[in-house]
Structure 1
């Protein structure tokens, strides 16, 4: 739909993006409070103030502690894997200030930042190398996947998510991040991004991302894109590219080609074993498999037609002979009758 030359769908999607970007992304835990100007409060503010520089200068991930015993603060920061240093700094800085303002005296809190997201967490307990699946933040696009493509779409979607989960969870101790894309049809492609805090083990990262995908299917199946964010992992997918692609972090695109037919003997006239051509043409073995049966059928058909024509000619010859014989007999009888 267009209005005065402006694509209304584009404006709606832009509006949705703005709303998602400005939505509340902070979570204040109810596990305990501290008093204003307490030692814990000062430690929290101090450690969070150092995070924009520390996270952005350490590859997008940083952990730290400050204080002792009950005043000890554990803090963690993560930027999305494709964020530049400047974007990372900006996201962590904004999230840190919003977190302090939104949770002024909570001993534990979490922020997922804006778009692209980043994670800022602090707590009065150990949060490093620990899998936390709650709380969860999720959202989706309001458009629906075309129902005619939904079955095939689901197959491609699930296969792609599995590939991206495996790629992300097998990352390093400094980066567990992956993206991937897959074609549903010629004009429909799925893009996906997944990331864990790299302090998680491969098993815990895998679990966090799969739980995120399951959560999305439960709340938002059939929608044209969305996201799920947990304390230890980020997940998003859409029908357009929304990340900076990098070959080193790209998962292998899934292949959902139909299984090959039962093997059969090679064509009798084909000796070329070429299977694949890089230019996208048909393999010579495939051409032989196509044309050899056609040639055989053509030869058989010609032979059948030739035999049929020969039999037809012989039949006509016999009929002509029979007619001539009958005429000759009738003529002799006629002459005989005149003589008598």
Structure 2
């Protein structure tokens, strides 16, 4: 079952998306949000053509192996800015394939919105009609959670707070190619907790910390009592689970 795009009133700061088990092979997106407040475009318009050109360029850049792609094309008012970020442990070929699959589904999921965020577990694509390079983008934010309840929520939460604090600093300390960190620890109830944090590497160390701090603050509202969950923003994201969902070391 595909996840439908969600449109919430303007006073909501986050979009709530139930975590489903999908795969890229199914050609179904894990999450998507089409931002209607940024304006719309018509099929065949200059913005439409520029968007298709930019999205195609993201996945066709075979010289880039670090998993972050940034591109823009056109002139105002039809200038399109786009970025794609792959999870830091994903192989380059898988990364580009994920970005291509995501971009190919754009038309059916967000057919005429000038701004949208969509993706799979392995990659995220974000595009808009304003400059975004080197800018902290924490909206829209997507909340996803594991439907399974934790057996000892207090124990998991205590371990999770420590892991997220460590991982946020490690990710922010990354270089201009990758800002990504993974960690795990055993909670007091003997449940192992796995954590991932990531920023787009166009951010400075302090910008990455600021971005992660904003979304980590939402973890209690998003995912308290769950065995897993995540908050995704255009510039950063974090995820935790009670199983390893990433490769042991980044590529």
> What is the RMSD of the two structures over their aligned residues, measured on CA atoms?
2.4
Once the two structures are TM-superposed, the CA of residue 36 in structure 1 deviates from its matched residue by: 2.2
Counterpart in the other structure of 2:120: 114
Q: Deviations over 1:220-260 (max 9, x none)?
A: 212111111111112111111111112x79xxxxxxxxxxx
Of 123, 133, 138, the residue aligned with 2:143 is 138
Once the two structures are TM-superposed, the CA of residue 94 in structure 1 deviates from its matched residue by: 0.9
User: Higher helix fraction: Structure 1 or Structure 2?
Assistant: 1
Once the two structures are TM-superposed, the CA of residue 74 in structure 1 deviates from its matched residue by: 1.1
Q: Does the 8 Å CA contact 1:75/1:120 hold for their aligned counterparts?
A: yes
Task: Map 1:326-337 onto structure 2 (within 5 A).
Answer: none
Of 10, 18, 31, the residue aligned with 2:22 is 18
Counterpart in the other structure of 2:203: 200
Aligned length: 230
Once the two structures are TM-superposed, the CA of residue 53 in structure 1 deviates from its matched residue by: 2.1
Identify the structure with bigger relative contact order (alpha carbons < 8 Å, sequence gap 6+).
2
- Does 2:92 match 1:92? no
Counterpart in the other structure of 2:57: 50
Counterpart in the other structure of 2:13: none
Instruction: Mark the structure with the bigger radius of gyration.
Output: 1
In 2, Cα distance between the equivalents of 1:141 and 1:103? 25
In 2 relative to 1, CA 16–62 (structure 1 residues): closer, same or farther, beyond 3 Å? closer
Once the two structures are TM-superposed, the CA of residue 204 in structure 1 deviates from its matched residue by: 2.2
Once the two structures are TM-superposed, the CA of residue 19 in structure 1 deviates from its matched residue by: 9.0
Once the two structures are TM-superposed, the CA of residue 69 in structure 1 deviates from its matched residue by: 2.5
In 1, Cα distance between the equivalents of 2:130 and 2:99? 21
Once the two structures are TM-superposed, the CA of residue 186 in structure 1 deviates from its matched residue by: 7.6
Q: Give structure 1 stretches of 5+ with no counterpart.
A: 1-14, 250-340
TM-score w.r.t. structure 2 length? 0.83
Once the two structures are TM-superposed, the CA of residue 135 in structure 1 deviates from its matched residue by: 1.3
Task: Map 1:112-261 onto structure 2 (within 5 A).
Answer: 113-116=119-122, 118-147=123-152, 150-185=153-188, 187-246=190-249
SS of equivalent to 2:231: strand
Q: Give structure 2 stretches of 5+ with no counterpart.
A: 1-18
Once the two structures are TM-superposed, the CA of residue 95 in structure 1 deviates from its matched residue by: 0.7
SS of equivalent to 2:113: coil
In 2 relative to 1, CA 120–176 (structure 1 residues): closer, same or farther, beyond 3 Å? same
Answer with 17-26 or 198-207: which moved more: 17-26
Counterpart in the other structure of 2:82: 75
Q: Does the 8 Å CA contact 1:99/1:110 hold for their aligned counterparts?
A: no
Counterpart in the other structure of 2:12: none
Once the two structures are TM-superposed, the CA of residue 29 in structure 1 deviates from its matched residue by: 1.6
In 2 relative to 1, CA 19–214 (structure 1 residues): closer, same or farther, beyond 3 Å? farther
In 2, Cα distance between the equivalents of 1:102 and 1:96? 10
In 1, Cα distance between the equivalents of 2:62 and 2:210? 25
Q: Does the 8 Å CA contact 2:140/2:233 hold for their aligned counterparts?
A: yes
Task: Map 1:280-319 onto structure 2 (within 5 A).
Answer: none
Q: Does the 8 Å CA contact 1:56/1:88 hold for their aligned counterparts?
A: no
